[in-house]
Chains A and B, each alone.
Chain A
Amino acid sequence: MADFSQLREAVLTGNAPAAVAAARQALDAGVDPVELVNQAISPAMEEVGRLYEAGEYFVPELLLAARATKEVFQLIRPLLAQKDIPPAARVVLGTVQGDLHDIGKNLVGAMLEGGGFEVIDLGVNVPPEKFILAVEEKQAQIVGLSALLTTTMPAMKKTLDVFRTAGIRGRIKVMIGGAPITQSYADSIGADAYGENAAAAVAIARKLAGR
């Protein structure tokens, strides 16, 4: 097995140029890109998440690490495509209707991209119908809903209700998050998963995508 310690270290320190250089070196030496993801990138991002949970990393460190892995994924995505390996799941992301806050959603988007997901970010104040259009058009498997305000939380429930009425609920997994959101709220509206923070989003999305 190849030695990925340099690549892991580059991701953990958020050093994008070093991460890309280490990844390129490994690929040039004949390392399988899937192995690179599974043996280096994913464990490194899990470690970043662990450091965040432990309070050793904060948002700036998360963003730097996510940026580094995102650049590595740009390098390996064409190689995966050549081998007919499907990309990680597509995630449609947005802040629900009536809510204009996007910091949390943007952090989740950056982390998911760092986790190898293809993220379709619909922005803020997104009506349920717009989520549905994006799911259909992009054949997305996961929808991420964000809300910062207690007053806009009910829009999450409404969005899920519209998904059900439109008949797409069974085809997608829905993950939700935001300052006032809790697991019990997620359960009460029938969401598939709740993420407490952006670092947790990658592991949750992986689980929902079944990989």
Chain B
Amino acid sequence: MGSAFMPTLSLNLPPGPVITDGAWGTQLQAQGLGAGECPDAWNLTHAGQVETVARAYVEAGSQVILTNTFGANRLRLAAHGLGDRTLEINRAGARISRRAAGDRVKVFASIGPTGRLLAMGETNEAELSAVFEEQARALAAEGVDALLLETFADLDEIRAAIAAAKATGLPVVASLVFDSGPARDRTMMGATPEQAAAAVIAAGADVVGANCGNGIDGFIPICRRLRAATDRPLWLKANAGLPEIVDGRAVYRTSPEYFAARTLDLIKAGATFVGGCCGTSPAFIIAIRQVLQTAKPR
């Protein structure tokens, strides 16, 4: 298992682990994004600042960067009164990352969950399908290289998103959050890594992943279990631990060096795409690149 990278992706990336990017939300905050402001709307109002974040990751050595469209589905945007700007916000987000990426770096467009729970009757399958189809189509229209479904917790919701993403013909990465249960190895809805891998592959995902969570240490056993469950490429983006609040500001205690050293362990555990989630920055990507250059795994 795990012998071949990218068996199902034709992205012309070199063999071996692929370095993705780090957090966008925390980077946009550093650019002035206020609490409660809609980050995705910045694709229209602060395109320059969004592109600064994208370029910082390209310059740090990311081989894949995401788009600032994690919350740009109609249901989430509607909460900001921006539902009717859904297409524009997604298309602008894809264009910004495409521009920053140039020819060498791939753009994987980010699609996040709706924030509505099927189990509470807050949404239904038909609405989810329509919402994800709209976002996936808008992103695909701007020539992104793949669609990334990230930070999902509900297998039913990610199934709807995978179906919508697959319909564009682009490769699809399906990444869940395993942060629940005593061992912090289940999704909020109770799915194990094995159950999640089986479900997303059956739904047509090309790459299986985990992101966010409770810091990178917990990702290594999860990565091992995903590796045992599938021979698809694996996508692992841990956050920089849970933040502590110091003088009213969020402080992430994980250092880039520690994160990079553990990323090497993730690759040994079978990770294909590596990078970071909340609290990570271009400094983390530089550290990962340096560790990989020194270690030359595989």
Q: A-side interface residues toward B, CB under 8 Å?
A: 53-55, 57-61, 63, 97-103, 106-107, 110, 124-125, 149-155, 157, 179-180, 185, 188
CB-based contact B79/A100 at 8 Å: yes
CB-based contact B188/A150 at 8 Å: no
Kindly state whether residue B1 has any CB partner on chain A within 8 Å.
no
Most A-side CB within 10 Å, residue of B34, B76, B120, B183: B120
CB-based contact B119/A60 at 8 Å: yes
CB-based contact B79/A151 at 8 Å: no
CB-based contact B119/A63 at 8 Å: yes
Kindly state whether residue B248 has any CB partner on chain A within 8 Å.
yes
Minimum distance in angstroms from B177 CB to a CB of chain A: 10
> Interface 1/0s, chain B 174-205, versus A by CB < 8 A?
00000011110011111000000000000000
B-chain residues with CB within 8 Å of residue A151 when the two chains form the complex: 29, 35-36, 250
Q: Can you name 14 A-B residue pairings with CB atoms under 8 Å?
A: A55-B181, A57-B190, A58-B180, A58-B189, A59-B117, A60-B119, A63-B119, A99-B35, A100-B76, A101-B115, A150-B243, A152-B35, A179-B242, A188-B245
A125 CA to B79 CA, complexed, in Å: 10
B-chain residues with CB within 8 Å of residue A157 when the two chains form the complex: 248
CB-based contact A180/B242 at 8 Å: yes
Q: Is chain A's interface secondary structure helix, strand, loop, or mixed overall? A: loop
Kindly state whether residue B104 has any CB partner on chain A within 8 Å.
no
Chain B, range 140-198, C-beta contacts under 8 Å to A: 180-183, 186-190
A-chain residues with CB within 8 Å of residue B181 when the two chains form the complex: 55, 58
Chain B, interface size category, equals 20 to 34
Contact of A58 among B36, B183, B188, B243 (CB under 8 A): B188
Closest to A106 in B: B120
A188 CA to B242 CA, complexed, in Å: 18
Minimum distance in angstroms from B155 CB to a CB of chain A: 11
Kindly state whether residue B80 has any CB partner on chain A within 8 Å.
yes
CB-based contact A152/B36 at 8 Å: yes
> Interface 1/0s, chain B 20-37, versus A by CB < 8 A?
000000000100001110
CB-based contact A103/B117 at 8 Å: yes
Question: With contacts A100-B36, A150-B250 known, is A55 near B119, CB below 8 A?
Answer: no
Kindly state whether residue B103 has any CB partner on chain A within 8 Å.
no
Kindly state whether residue B84 has any CB partner on chain A within 8 Å.
no
A61 CA to B115 CA, complexed, in Å: 19
B-chain residues with CB within 8 Å of residue A107 when the two chains form the complex: 120
Minimum distance in angstroms from B237 CB to a CB of chain A: 17
Minimum distance in angstroms from A162 CB to a CB of chain B: 16
Minimum distance in angstroms from A82 CB to a CB of chain B: 31
CB-based contact B36/A99 at 8 Å: yes
B-chain residues with CB within 8 Å of residue A153 when the two chains form the complex: 245, 250
CB-based contact A155/B117 at 8 Å: no
CB-based contact B35/A155 at 8 Å: yes
Top 6 nearest A-B pairs by Cβ distance?
A98-B36, A58-B190, A150-B250, A151-B35, A55-B181, A55-B182
Closest to B185 in A: A55
A-chain residues with CB within 8 Å of residue B122 when the two chains form the complex: 106
Besides A106-B122, A107-B120, A151-B35, 10 new A-B residue pairs in contact (Cβ under 8 A), listed by A number: A55-B181, A58-B188, A60-B119, A60-B189, A99-B36, A100-B76, A125-B36, A152-B36, A157-B248, A185-B245
Chain B, range 53-83, C-beta contacts under 8 Å to A: 76, 79-80
A27 CA to B117 CA, complexed, in Å: 34
CB-based contact B188/A59 at 8 Å: yes
A150 CA to B248 CA, complexed, in Å: 9
A100 CA to B186 CA, complexed, in Å: 25
A157 CA to B245 CA, complexed, in Å: 12
B-chain residues with CB within 8 Å of residue A180 when the two chains form the complex: 242-243, 245, 250
CB-based contact B120/A63 at 8 Å: yes
CB-based contact B35/A102 at 8 Å: no
B-chain residues with CB within 8 Å of residue A103 when the two chains form the complex: 115, 117
B-chain residues with CB within 8 Å of residue A110 when the two chains form the complex: 120
B-chain residues with CB within 8 Å of residue A53 when the two chains form the complex: 182
CB-based contact B190/A60 at 8 Å: yes
